[in-house]
Amino acid sequence: MSSINKVSSEALLLVGKVIKPHGVKGLLSVWSYARTIESFLYSDTVFLKLEHQEPIKYTVLDVSPHKNSFLIRVKGVETFENANRLRDADILVDKKLLVKKSDDEYYWFELINMKVYLDSGKYLGDIKEIIPTGSNDVFVVRQDDSEFLIPSIHDVIKKIDLNKGEMIIRAIDGLLELNEI
C-alpha cells in the first residue's frame, strides 16, 4: 500500500464502498456501485479512502462474487483488524485504467453534463442523470423547465463526441412530445 502521489483525486472514479470485513484473514466485503465484478477485475490496483483522509493505493490480489456483494483481497490487509479499519472506505479506481469492451460503450461519468442536440441542431439540454433500466439506460436531459427522457438505444443515439462533450440524437416518433414537462 502507498499513499496517493501520482494520481490526482480528479483522476479517480468512485466505484464502490467497503461494507465490512469478511472472515479473519483480511477479506473485504464490498458493494460495487456498478454492480459488476468488472469494476474490480480489470484494475490491478484500487484506492481506498476513509473520510477526511487521503486515498491509499492497494494492489488487488483477488475478487469474487459473494451474495449481493463482492469479496476483495488486497495486498497488505491480512487480518480482521486490518480489514475492520477499512470499514466504510470508498473504493476508487484510476479512470485511465478502465477498460471498454467496445467503441460504443461509455462510462456514466463521461456522459453526465454532456450537451444533447437533435440531429437538426436544436439544443435540448444537458444530461443530468442516468436511470438504469433492465434493457437500456435512460438519459435525463434538462434545460431550464424542460426535461426529456432519452433512451440509450442505437435508434435514438446517433453520435457521442467525448472531446466536444456532445451527443447527437434522432427524435423518433413520440419521443420528445411524451417526455417533455
Per-residue pLDDT reduced to its tens digit, 102-146: 777 788 888 999 999 999 999 999 999 998 887 888 999 999 999
Pair (9, 74) in one structural domain: yes
- State what percent of residues in the chain have pLDDT above 90: 56
126 lies in which domain range?
108-179
- Domain end (from 47, 75, 97): 97
Pair (45, 85) in one structural domain: yes
> Is residue 102 domain-resident?
no
Burial class (CB in 10 A: 0-12, 13-18, 19+), 179: middle
Those residues whose C-beta lies under 8 Å from the C-beta of residue 144, and which sit 6 or more positions away, are 125
Question: What's the structural domain count of the chain?
Answer: 2
pLDDT of residue 109: 84
Give backbone dihedrals phi and psi of 106, rounded to 5 degrees, phi first: -135, 150
Pair (9, 87) in one structural domain: yes
Pair (78, 124) in one structural domain: no
> Is residue 53 domain-resident?
yes
Pair (60, 125) in one structural domain: no
pLDDT of residue 128: 95
What CATH number does the domain containing 34 carry? 2.40.30.60
Q: What is the mean pLDDT of the chain?
A: 86
Which of the four pLDDT bands, split at 50, 70 and 90, describes residue 181? very low
Rounded to two decimals, what is the model's pTM? Answer: 0.67
By residue count, the chain amounts to 181
> Is residue 135 domain-resident?
yes
More confident residue, 25 or 33: 25
Question: Are residues 71 and 36 in contact, defined by beta-carbon separation less than 8 angstroms?
Answer: no
